[in-house]
Amino acid sequence: MRFLPPRIYAHFHYEYFNGEKLNLDHPKTFNEKIEWYKVHYHPKLLNQLVDKYAVRTFVEEKIGAQYLNEVYGVYNKAEDIPFDGLPNQFVIKATHASSYNLIVHDKTKLNIPKALKLFKKWLSKNQYYRMGQEWAYRDVPPRLVVEKFLKEEGKCSLVDYKFYCFDGKAKFIDVHLDREEDHKQGCFDLDFTPLPFTKGSKQCISNNIEKPTNLDEMVKLSEILAQQLPFVRVDFYSVNGKTIFGEMTFYPADARNKFYPLEYNTIIGDYFKIPKLKKGQQEITEIG
């Protein structure tokens, strides 16, 4: 079914995961508009922005290389990774897909043959067909990027700050913490006040978490990167007060996760002003 034409497949995909019919011609909810995005919004720049290695050039040009994590290397083949030359801790990511990450805390305990088998599996998968026909990933070359392991003092894992940006303006932050131990999530406004909605079914952040000292900088940088885009989620980490770019995505959770309470699916959908298709136009290929 994933090989169906996008306009047809989007209806099956949306109804399966959202439990309701998709109105692709007049979308209202946030996830409906994400499905519209996949089907109709196709500027070539999106291929670069979702590529976890190629996006670095864009970030460097827009906000500066100081916000990028250190890269040890990028590889087309799993067997080319020089494990002997890597530090004891590092992270390996697939550049062309979502959620393909291996965090290595202790290289001496890494089962390299098993890891190589996993990486080859990653490289054989195409994100476009693997998930919900997420257009931006369709032509991204499969590669592996090895990055510096990031650690924030006093925390078991990094806090992930995801800025939902509409027409170049950040509207709210989706915060994730304790991913490796007890994944929790919560939504906050730009002053870091908890908002009355959550996304998906993960455990909600119930305790007070400290506002990052560099929050204003992260907001500003997310908006610079989001300029001229109807919607993009820009992710950052705050590592001991230093801002580090994470990734950019156009299809959060592949339009599978709703906001709760349910009325926020339409409220947040109203932030998302999708571009108008001209008469007879099937796709938008230009930014702005």
Segment 121-178, tens digit of pLDDT: 999 998 988 889 999 999 999 999 999 999 887 677 789 999 999 999 999 999 998 6
| Residue 20, in any domain of the structure | no
| Residue 105, in any domain of the structure | yes
| Residue 128, in any domain of the structure | yes
| Residue 177, in any domain of the structure | no
Domain that holds residue 67: 45-151
For a pLDDT cut of 90, what percent of the chain falls above it?
84
- Residue 203 has what pLDDT? 66
Q: Please give the C-alpha separations between residue 124 and each of 27, 76, 99, 118, 121, in angstroms, as whole numbers.
A: 34, 11, 15, 10, 5
| Residue 221, in any domain of the structure | no
Vertex 275 angle, CA 271 and 280, to 5° = 150
User: Is the model's pLDDT at 202 over the cut of 80?
Assistant: no
- Residue 118 has what pLDDT? 97
Residue 258: what are its φ and ψ, rounded to 5°? -95, 165
Segment 29-85, tens digit of pLDDT: 999 999 999 999 999 999 999 999 999 999 999 999 999 999 999 999 999 999 999
Residue 271 one-letter amino acid: Y
Residues 6+ apart with CB under 8 A from 160: 175, 176, 177, 179, 235, 237, 246
| Residue 232, in any domain of the structure | no
Q: How many domains does the chain have?
A: 1
Segment 21-32, tens digit of pLDDT: 999 999 999 999
Read out DSSP for the chain? Answer: -TTS-HHHHHHHHHHHHHSS---SSS--SHHHHHHHHHHHB--THHHHHHSTTTHHHHHHHHT-GGGSPPEEEEESSGGG--GGGS-SSEEEEETTSSS-EEEES-GGG--HHHHHHHHHHHHT--HHHHTT--GGGTTPPP-EEEEEPP--TT-SS--EEEEEEETTEEEEEEEEE-TTTS-EEEEE-TT-PBPS-EESSSEEP-S--PPPTTHHHHHHHHHHHTTT-SEEEEEEEEETTEEEEEEEESSGGGG-PPEESTTHHHHHHHH--PPPPPTT---B-S--
| Residue 86, in any domain of the structure | yes
- Residue 163 has what pLDDT? 98
- Reference 59, options 218, 248, 265; nearest CA is 248
| Residue 215, in any domain of the structure | no
